[in-house]
Structure 1
Amino acid sequence: MTKFSICIPAYKTRYLKACIDSILKQSIEDFELIILNDCSPEPVEAIVKQFNDQRISYYSNKKNVGALHLVDNWNKCLSLARGTYIVIMGDDDLLEPDYLNEFAQLINLFPDLNVYHCRSKIINDEGETIMLTPSCPLFESVYDSIWHRLAQYRSNYISDFMYRTEALQQQGGFYNLPLAWGSDDITAFIAAHRQGIAHSSKPVFNYRSNNLSITSTGNDLQKMEANLGYAKWLGHFLQEQPTNSDDDIVYQYLVNKQHGFMAKRKRYTMMLSMRRQLLNKSFLWFRYRKKFDISVKDILIAAVKSLNTN
């Protein structure tokens, strides 16, 4: 049986060849590469045909789904995967040659977990490293993971995570939120619920930060709808007490602070939109403040932060 399934839901082609190259250069060769063309107008298939490698499987959607329902592509890849473990890749991101080897070492240390995570490099259009994501402990419970993520002590991306394929299928696949805005977080939280999550402090994934990413683009109202779905999931999750008494303190902190954390997440979403159009987006959020439970103070805070990050 194949050990790893690496999946690329592909739409953009500017960096697709480099992305595929980085995968095929892995020091561990026991993997399959699934490429799913999301009905792209760009030459995805032509680029894939440049590679003569039996590990590559190519599929194509009949219509585009990733513009809003990005998670549907992730879950289609999950249904096609034959590997024991699965990773979803962005079509413009890169893997270090020892990416799979680093995860294999984590799996050997913690063979009973359902989710693993690595540190990442953030790269620009030229492939230059401009930042690192924060390092994480070797192992932590789901409650610590939720706390540090919601407090914005760390950042992560879908390709930071590796999942046990069968466990991910059993939990219903990747958690579906509009534009996948927070889907990577919640999917990892669910997978880590009982056994926890293991982290590698070695940055073996390269996330390309550019103006075409979902973080920088996408429908702002859909992102805010996703925030409401995120808050609903968190509230439901926190209704269940932890089974390990060591988690009680952090659990209670999350219960008490969950609404504040969600307000911070909404401010972050507004801030991203205001970096592009401060005045227009300020009016947009003022118009929808009641629907999304946003205060005028939240809008002002986001506006000030957007100016500081331009």
Structure 2
Amino acid sequence: MKYQFILPAYKQTYLKKALESILSQTYRNFEVIVIDDASPEDLKSVCNDFTDTRLHYYKNKVNIGGKNLCHMWEHCLKYACSEYLILASDDDIFEPEFLQLADKYTQIYPTANILRCNTRIISGEDKIEKEDSAFATSLFTLTEYMDIYFPKQVRCIANTLYKTSWIKKHGFCEYDLAWHSDNMTAFMAAKDNGIVLIGEKVLFNFRVSGINISSINSTPSILRKAVASSLFFSDLNNVIKGLPVNWIKRKIIKFKYIRSARLLFFSYAYNVGFIHLTTIFKSIYANKLFEWWTPFSILLKLSICILKSYKKSKV
């Protein structure tokens, strides 16, 4: 078997749509493994509605992902026996040509350990919110990927094909809530043999619905994401240092990530109360990617936003 979709599942809401999109692939030679992570919802009945023999259902005795999502991803690898695997999700949607085009490029670039496709963000009601720009598909070095494409692209785990032998050997980079784990794992996979970016059309729909980790913005979740982000950007700084480029190019790449990191930490600060800002700022200070004055610039921007909101409420 060349391809497997391995789908760790917990929520029933969009599972049927997700499975329909996988089983509707124009390339037919693959199998789908659904791993029910001890969900309280009846996921088995959803799977039983399909008569496709390529679909297989398993259920964990205890929940793994709720305690550590990366550990659940590692657990999924125990079921992997194909040449390439896609770690799917229970709410995202694959376009019908996803695997057909992926198969085309695995044949053109057989040494690559990772392939990623253009992606759009959709809402819980399937409304398009954002979409990657089209470009020519090619094999890119890690430096090219980090410099040109990664900052602009929609990032997630399920729009990615990993060579099974590589991911089983190296595993997923672990951060709390698996926040940025997909990104750092992609960097590591691209380090030696590059990354194939399938850019001629959007092949994957990443759902932000309010019930997945990406869109849950409760204060405890934000604080955990802030700590995970600090660790990620610290590790990212080391990756940038190791790029085979001159110091000027390295500074340019680093600046791009400093800018995106500032915006991310500002969003964290904006969505928690003042009482929790010290936790956010501690995460920033622990990160070597930032300058010492970064928390003050975020605090100033935060104060301006709050003042504008207050003035609007008085109008």
The residue type paired with residue 231 of structure 2 is: G
Instruction: Tell me which residue corresponds to 1:28.
Output: 27
In the aligned structure 2, how far is the partner of 1:162 from the partner of 1:299? 40
* RMSD value, Cα: 2.7
* In 1: Cα distance, 2:187 partner to 2:304 partner: 31
Partner of 1:121: 120
Residue pair 1:270, 1:285 contacting (<8 A) in 2 also: no
Match among 221, 224, 244 for residue 223 of structure 2: 221
2:194 is the counterpart of 1:192: no
Partners of 2:75 and 2:119 in 1: how far apart? 25
Matches within 5 A, 1:240-255: 240=242, 242=244, 248-249=245-246, 252-254=248-250
* Aligned residue in 2 for 1:158: 157
How high is the sequence identity, in percent, across the aligned residues? 26
More helix, by proportion: 2
Matches of 1:92 and 1:99 in 2, distance apart? 16
Q: Give the aligned partner of residue 4 of structure 2.
A: 5
> For the structure 1 residues 302 and 217, does the alpha-carbon distance in structure 2 shift closer, same or farther, using more than 3 Å as the test?
farther
Question: Are residues 213 and 254 of structure 1, via their aligned partners in 2, closer, same or farther at CA, if it must alter by over 3 Å?
Answer: farther
Quote the offset at 1:207 in angstroms: 1.2
Task: Give the TM-score taking structure 2 as reference length.
Answer: 0.83
Match of 1:283 among 275, 291, 298: 275
2:267 paired with 1:271: yes
Tell me the secondary structure at the aligned position of residue 127 of structure 1.
Answer: coil
- AA of the residue aligned to 2:298: D
Q: Distance in 2 between matches of 1:303 and 1:49?
A: 53
- Quote how far apart the aligned CAs of 1:16 are: 0.3
Mapped to 2, the partners of 1:37 and 1:269 lie a distance apart of 33
Match of 1:146?
Answer: 146
Aligned residue number for residue 245 of structure 1 = none
Match of 2:288 in 1: none
State the alpha-carbon separation in 2 of the partners of residues 197 and 257 from structure 1. Answer: 18
Give, in whole Å, the separation in 1 of the partners of 2:67 and 2:303.
Answer: 26
User: Kindly tell me: are residues 196 and 291 of structure 1, through their superposed partners in 2, closer, same or farther at Cα, counting changes over 3 Å?
Assistant: closer
Residue 289 (structure 2) aligns with = none
Q: Structure 1 residues 254, 59: closer, same or farther in 2, change over 3 A?
A: farther
Consecutive unaligned residues of structure 1, counting only runs of 5 or more, are: 243-247
In structure 2, the gaps of 5 or more residues are 286-293, 310-315
Say if 1:296 and 1:107 are closer, same or farther in 2 by CA, change over 3 A: same
**Structure 2: how far apart are the matches of 1:303 and 1:223?**
22
Q: 1:301 to 1:110 in 2, by over 3 A?
A: farther
**Contact 1:11/1:40 (8 A) holds in 2:** yes
Of the structure 1 ranges 101-110 and 212-221, higher mean CA displacement relative to structure 2 is found in 212-221
**Aligned counterparts of 1:107 and 1:257: Cα–Cα separation in 2:** 28
Secondary structure of 2:173's counterpart equals coil
Structure-2 residue corresponding to 1:56? 55
In the alignment, what sits opposite 2:174?
Answer: 176
Structure 2: how far apart are the matches of 1:181 and 1:21?
27
Tell me what 2:66 maps to. 67
Q: CA deviation at 1:267?
A: 3.6
Deviations 1:46-74 (A, max 9, x none): 21122222222222222223235212122
Equivalent residue for 1:301? 301
1:232–1:149 CA distance, 2 compared to 1 (3 A): farther
Residue pair 1:220, 1:269 contacting (<8 A) in 2 also: no
User: What amino acid does structure 2 have at the position aligned with 1:192?
Assistant: A
- Taking structure 1 as reference, are residues 166 and 212 closer, same or farther at Cα in structure 2, changes over 3 Å only? same
In the alignment, residue 226 of structure 1 is paired with which amino acid?
A
Q: Distance in 2 between matches of 1:200 and 1:141?
A: 14
Flag the structure with larger Rg: 2
Please give the TM-score of this superposition, normalised by the length of structure 1.
0.85
Secondary structure (helix, strand or coil) at the match of 1:62 reads coil
Q: Is the 8 A contact 2:241 2:250 kept in 1?
A: no
Aligned CA distance change for structure 1 residues 232 and 105 (closer, same or farther; 3 Å): same
Partner of 1:230: 232
Q: Secondary structure at the match of 2:6?
A: strand
Q: Distance in 2 between matches of 1:137 and 1:301?
A: 38
**Aligned mates of 2:41, 2:300 — CA distance in 1:** 40
Question: Letter of the aligned partner of 2:211 in structure 1?
Answer: L
Matches within 5 A, 1:201-216: 201=199, 202-216=201-215
Could you tell me how far apart the structure 1 residues matched to 2:305 and 2:223 are? Answer: 19
